């Protein structure tokens, strides 16, 4: 049980909770909740696997993930009111998932011998895509275009990962620093309402 596989499980749990809470908020039925939970948690990794040609994709090779998603979804349904009581829990679990899955993506890119900038892009894809597919399925504006600086946090984390990696820092320290940086950026952006600049076209 490495720190890497622990993070994988943690990220999956976080995305399943965020996915099933948003599905319940949208009043989807039992099955819709399972689908959204599943898609949110495996979406990013699936796209990552498809892009680099790692097929059959991860969740098909590791059925534990499927049972984990099923179990955590049932847990989320039962404890939905307690989970939602923590105001902003969707935001919180989504952010944890983003932080953890970004690391998985960057690490996969490095292991596949891809260029650093490509590994950062792969990290952002892995981190963000679960949420993007969830929003497209629900016919909402994808999370990366909302004001909460989603992909930007993921990419900043990816660069942090690559810089620490270049200096041959211990892997576990890289993992934890990267995840904390991503989570911190999102929290600060929301708390202080930081926004990226707009560029309007003169009309």
For 193, counting Cβ atoms within 10 Å of its Cβ (0-12 exposed, 13-18 middle, 19+ buried), the class is exposed
Cβ proximity to a second copy, 7 vs 189, nearer residue: 189
End-to-end CA distance of the chain: 59
Q: How far is the CB of 63 from a second copy (least distance, A)?
A: 5
Provide the CB-side half-sphere exposure for 72 (13 A, CA): 27
Q: Which residues bind a second copy (CB under 8 A)?
A: 21, 24-25, 27-33, 35, 46, 50-53, 55-57, 59-60, 63, 66-67, 77, 80-81, 84, 112, 114-115, 117-118, 121-122, 132, 136-142, 144-145, 147, 149, 151-152, 195-202
Q: How far is the CB of 18 from a second copy (least distance, A)?
A: 14
- Report the distance separating Cα 150 and Cα 144, nearest Å: 5
- Write the DSSP symbol of residue 144: G
Cβ proximity to a second copy, 140 vs 172, nearer residue: 140
Q: How far is the CB of 173 from a second copy (least distance, A)?
A: 27
Report the candidate in 122, 117, 113 with the shortest Cα–Cα distance to residue 45: 122
Q: How far is the CB of 203 from a second copy (least distance, A)?
A: 8
Cβ proximity to a second copy, 77 vs 176, nearer residue: 77
Cβ proximity to a second copy, 170 vs 197, nearer residue: 197
Report the candidate in 178, 121, 162, 142 with the shortest Cα–Cα distance to residue 22: 142
């Amino acid at each position: 049980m490495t720190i890497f596989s622990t993070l994988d499980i943690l990220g999956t749990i976080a995305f399943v909770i965020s996915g099933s809470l948003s599905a319940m908020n949208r009043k989807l039925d039992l099955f819709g909740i399972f689908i959204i939970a599943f898609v949110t948690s495996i979406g990013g990794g699936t796209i990552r696997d498809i892009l680099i040609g790692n097929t059959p994709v991860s969740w098909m090779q590791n059925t534990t993930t499927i049972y984990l998603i099923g179990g955590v979804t049932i847990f989320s349904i039962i404890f939905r009111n307690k989970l939602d009581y923590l105001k902003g829990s969707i935001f919180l679990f989504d952010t944890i998932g983003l932080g953890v899955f970004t690391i998985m993506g960057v690490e996969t890119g490095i292991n596949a011998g891809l260029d650093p900038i490509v590994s950062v892009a792969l990290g952002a894809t892995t981190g963000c895509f679960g949420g993007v597919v969830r929003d497209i399925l629900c016919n909402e504006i994808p999370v990366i275009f909302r004001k909460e600086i989603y992909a930007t946090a993921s990419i900043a984390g990816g660069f942090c990962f690559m810089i620490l990696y270049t200096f041959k820092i211990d892997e576990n320290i890289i993992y934890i620093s990267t995840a904390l940086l991503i989570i911190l950026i999102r929290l600060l952006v929301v708390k202080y309402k930081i926004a990226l600049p707009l560029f309007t076209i003169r009309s």
